[in-house]
Amino acid sequence: MLDLRELSLPVIGAPLAGGPGTPALAAAVSDAGGLGFVATGYKPPEVVAADLEALRALTSAPFGVNLFVVEPFQPDASALDAYRRSLEPLAARFDVALGDPQWEDDAWRAKLELVYDARPDVVTFTFGCPTARVLGQLADLGVHAGVTVTTVAEAREAVARGAASLAVQGPGAGGHRGSWQLDAVPDGTPLLDLVAAVRAAVDVPVVAGGGIHDAHGVRSVMDAGASAALVGTAYLLADEAGTNPTHRAALQDPALAETALTRAYTGRWARGLANDFIRAHESAPAGYPHLHHVTAPLRKAAAAAGDMQVAHLWAGSSHAHARRATAAEITRALAP
């Protein structure tokens, strides 16, 4: 079983679900001595299978696969309906129909069976923690199973169920918060403090991410007790990333200098570049993946139109340091 403490470079490329993560990006990070990841979120199982096949054709180095744990959640029906209706004028402007709010589990069972069969080196879980039975089955297959946590309580529970490692996510991370409780107020504990607290509470390897953009940041989390750094936003402009042109342009636009937490796009807290859409919908209700389905057509249309004020533009707090380069160059520059 892979030991995360023995990576040639203590750098883990975040899965980057929703488009930026690609087999080519994952392979390049792994080949450079780090650990690349394939995202399964939002993808049909057959696409995930094709990604795994493509990745194995690109590299013989270890790599990881990330799955969403989408727990059942019933949003406030009146708030959800009111929010959907508030978006109709904007959808009309882009000439699209909003999606229907619905809960689904991101093809959990099919994707789980896929990783049981594929046996990647590492499988991690985000938004929640699988059962002890699932984590035990992965261990029996020789697969390292990790869980994303945002609090000490989540860390303790994940280890109690059998997690082999933890990915500690700090408040500066771009994209979705990995909090297990969908409607919880995001924990604002600084990353280094959170890493130290988790390391004091559990005895498994920890990797840490959120706002890390250089070798100093990697060294800082390792000094706090992490075995490696988890890096996402720094790879968004990588040559191998699938980041769409609107998102790429926004990351390099000095007018979009701030990030903000929002539920407006998906009903789950996420950090992105602060734009008009986020500012106009600060009171968006909790409801994932309900709001994700509602806004998906609108987000797609805005990105296609190059509209940075409506498109979702996930980015961490250190996004201004992202640069265009190969993933190998970015990975090597992160080496402490």
Examine the domain organization and report whether 81 and 198 are in the same domain: no
DSSP assignment letter at 16: -
Band of residue 20 on the pLDDT scale cut at 50, 70, 90: very high
End-to-end CA distance of the chain: 25
Range with the lowest mean pLDDT among 13-17, 182-186, 208-212?
182-186
Examine the domain organization and report whether 81 and 170 are in the same domain: no
Q: Is the pLDDT of residue 69 over 90?
A: yes
pTM: 0.96
Examine the domain organization and report whether 206 and 160 are in the same domain: yes
Which residue, among 307, 292, 300, has the nearest Cα to 41 in the 3D structure?
A: 292
Q: Is the pLDDT of residue 183 over 90?
A: no
Examine the domain organization and report whether 174 and 197 are in the same domain: yes
Q: What is the pLDDT of residue 115?
A: 97
Let me know the angle formed at the C-alpha of 288 by 49 and 45, rounded to the nearest 5 degrees.
Answer: 10
Share of the chain above pLDDT 90, in %: 97
What is the domain extent for residue 266?
74-104+257-312
Q: Is the pLDDT of residue 185 over 90?
A: no
Examine the domain organization and report whether 51 and 79 are in the same domain: no
Q: How far is CA 32 from CA 204, 232, 288, 326, in A?
A: 25, 16, 35, 11
Q: Is the pLDDT of residue 33 over 90?
A: yes
Q: How many domains does the chain have?
A: 2
What average pLDDT does the chain have?
97
Overall average pLDDT of the 145-159 stretch: 98
Q: Is residue 118 part of a domain?
A: yes
Cβ atoms of 45 and 110 closer than 8 Å: yes
Structure tokens at 312: 């979702």
Q: Is the pLDDT of residue 259 over 90?
A: yes
Examine the domain organization and report whether 278 and 159 are in the same domain: no
Domain containing residue 198: CATH number: 3.20.20.70
Examine the domain organization and report whether 48 and 182 are in the same domain: yes
Cβ atoms of 27 and 58 closer than 8 Å: yes
Overall average pLDDT of the 4-33 stretch: 97
Which amino acid makes up residue 60? S
Band of residue 238 on the pLDDT scale cut at 50, 70, 90: very high
Own/partner contacts of 88-93, CB < 8 Å, gap of 24 or more, are 90/298, 90/310, 91/297, 91/298
> How do beta strands 175-176 and 270-273 pair?
antiparallel
Q: Is the pLDDT of residue 101 over 90?
A: yes
Range with the lowest mean pLDDT among 147-156, 183-192, 193-202, 244-253?
183-192
Q: What is the pLDDT of residue 218?
A: 98
Q: What is the pLDDT of residue 184?
A: 84
CB crowding 23-36: b at 16 or more within 10 Å, else e:
bbbbbbbbbbbbbb
